[in-house]
Amino acid sequence: MKKAIQYFIITVFVAITSSCGDETTVSKANRPSASTEFDIVILNGRVMDPETNFDGIRNVGILDGRIALITEEEISGKETIDATDQVVAPGFIDTHFHWQRLLGYKIGIRDGLTSNLDIELGCVGTKIDQWYADREGKSPANYGTGSSHELARAAVLDGTDPYGDIDAFRTRALAQGWALTKPTLEQGNQILQIMDKGLQQGALGISSTLGYMREGISSREVFEAQKVAARYGRAYQGHTRYTPDNDVGEANGAQELIANALALDAPVVISHFNNPGWRLVHELITRLREQGHNVWGEIYPYAAGSTTLNAVFLQPENWIDRLGHKYENTLQDVETGEFYTRETYAKAVKETPTKEILLWKMPPEDAVEWIKLKGTTMASDGMAPMNVLTSPWDTPWEEFGNMHPRGAGARAFTLRLAREHDVPLMQVLSILSYNAAKYLGDTGLKAMQERGRLQEGMVADIVVFDPMTVTDNATFLNGSIPSTGFKSVIVNGVQVVIDDKAIEVYPGQPIRYEPEDKPRFEQVSLEAWEAIYNTSIEIPGSECIPVPWEK
């Protein structure tokens, strides 16, 4: 109770001292008057904008899907939200949300999530158009995906015809070429061409589960994959080569991606770096961003991660023999809550290789420090329960089965954690919304230049929540319970949550680059590399990107 009172005093003080300036910093050239009848008005709420640090009690008028007016004047509309004692903030953005299905979007909006992006696993590049078409008019929240490195490898090295999330599980269960095989030059070019096709179709970047492919993927291939993204000015988002590992391996994995990005002058994202060595990784990306590089990293505020049993890094020779862990206190069955032994792991990985598990890998108290990190993004890494993957809207939460709580509650947990430990609310809103919008917007993604801000003219993706009661309810024993404390969640000017109830409406829009008429793929060849980097060899007329695959 004492901490709650302190938090209230701090936030009220900030509101009073921050509300003395102008209402917004946005141009008012086309600003409607207060007498306009708006579609929705949000009255008497504490308006907070992480980009400008604006913090004050205001009324918000929404018209035609956008924030049309922020004012102290009285306004009215067709729908009215009384936001007294509520925070009015930009809708939350998750760049690492694997549950790209109807129920994933539904449980996400209950947690304030207005833009669901999967830029870590993604979709196979040849089917990006299909991925977006499948969600058009069928999502309560915005949606987007990347061009998958893993699934491009599966298509070439395993001969599969992958698509998205469910195919990753099937591929991991039935074939291992995508993870263990080093491609030939011809195969490597095929993989790169598939990834390029995805970017041509508007994918958000190259999505790479590199840590699951550590034996099969060379440093050259990673560099070439980052080149594919760099040609479009888009990010390569990587689960780094050695995640999870010790503090040396974790830092080295991040340094590999960062060094490539700097050589290519390209954006890069370090996925869920809240692992051993996180302070060094955060310092690296912070220093580089201060120098003008678009480099950023994600955290999620949980001590345990989640993956499948057959993940390469869980093999006993790595997790136990090399890193010194024990299955008995780190590897937990999601459904039963029981921890594995070396013997039960060996049996289970043969029988149910893609079964979801919890992996306890960090001290719980570190989570408070992670949400204090300036410039990070909070990305949940939320995964879909297979038993309800294609289930209808009205499927009860109880049928979901157990799962990692980050899918249902990561955003509310972040808010609750901040409240209980006096982390400034504006800092938390930045890592939940603005930071991701800023970094993606800086790559030229228009949809993100208009979101993540509570300003006039911006798209009306908005959350209205009670800062003193908003909370996660999902636990490690029951991970599918929705969050509470959200008075309203608005997506593109439409209420999708009212008083913690999800409304079956589908205003979600694609978060996507404009598709291009021609690919930007450039064939890799040893001869072209030699022509540029070996001064003793001249190959006239070579216009290829000059790099060998595997000599």
**Could you write out the three-class secondary structure of 19-63?**
CCCCCCCCCCCCCCCCCCEEEEEEEEEEEEECCCCEEEEEEEEEE
* Mean pLDDT score across all residues of the chain: 92
Q: Are residues 90 and 201 in the same domain?
A: yes
Determine, yes or no, domain membership for 33: yes
Domain stops at, among 319, 342, 359: 359
252 part of a folded domain: no
355 and 369 part of one domain: no
Same domain? 536 vs 547: yes
Per-residue confidence (pLDDT) for residue 354, from 0 to 100: 87
In tens, the pLDDT along 309-341 reads: 999 999 999 999 999 999 999 999 988 899 999
Residue 350 lies in a domain: yes
- Give the pLDDT band (50/70/90) at residue 545: very low
Q: What's the average model confidence in pLDDT over 257-281?
A: 98
My answer on whether 355 and 372 are in the same domain is no
Determine which helix (DSSP H) or strand (DSSP E) holds 12, and give its type and residue range: helix 2-18
Question: Are both 324 and 412 inside the same structural domain?
Answer: no
Mean pLDDT, rounded, for 415-423? 98
Prediction pTM value: 0.92
Q: Is residue 96 part of a domain?
A: yes
Residue pair 484/411 in contact (Cβ under 8 Å)? The answer is no
Residue 180: inside a domain:
yes
Domain containing 335 equals 307-359
Q: What is the C-alpha separation between 290 and 295, in angstroms, rounded? A: 10
State the pLDDT confidence band at 13, using cuts at 50, 70 and 90. Answer: very low
Q: What is the pLDDT of residue 7?
A: 45
What is the predicted pLDDT for the residue at 55? 98
265 within some domain: no
**Bond before 364 cis per omega within 30 degrees:** no
Give Cβ neighbours of residue 343 (< 8 Å, ≥ 6 apart). none
Which CATH number does the domain housing residue 14 bear?
Answer: 3.20.20
Residue 392, SS3?
Answer: coil
pLDDT score at 172? 79
448: left (phi over 0), alpha (psi -120 to 50) or beta: alpha
Is residue 320 domain-shared with residue 416, that is, in the same domain?
no
Same-domain status, 418 and 453: yes
Q: Is position 30 within any domain?
A: yes
- Residue 132 shares a structural domain with residue 62: yes
Our count of domains for the chain comes to: 3
Q: Are 303 and 363 in contact (CB under 8 A)?
A: yes
Token reading at 36: 């306009």
Both 33 and 139 in a single domain? yes
Q: Are residues 172 and 102 in the same domain?
A: yes
Q: What is the pLDDT of residue 384?
A: 87
Chain segment 489-534, per-residue pLDDT in tens: 999 999 999 999 999 999 999 999 999 999 999 999 999 898 889 8
Local confidence band at 29 (pLDDT 50, 70, 90 cut-offs): low
**CA–CA separation, 316 vs 202, rounded Å?**
40
Tell me: do 347 and 401 sit in the same domain: no
Decide if 410 contacts 380 (C-beta within 8 A).
yes
* Residue 275 domain flag: no
Same domain, 464 and 527: no
Tell the burial category of 518 from Cβ atoms under 10 Å away from its Cβ (0-12, 13-18, 19+).
exposed
- Among residues 335, 359, 383, which one ends one of the domains? 359
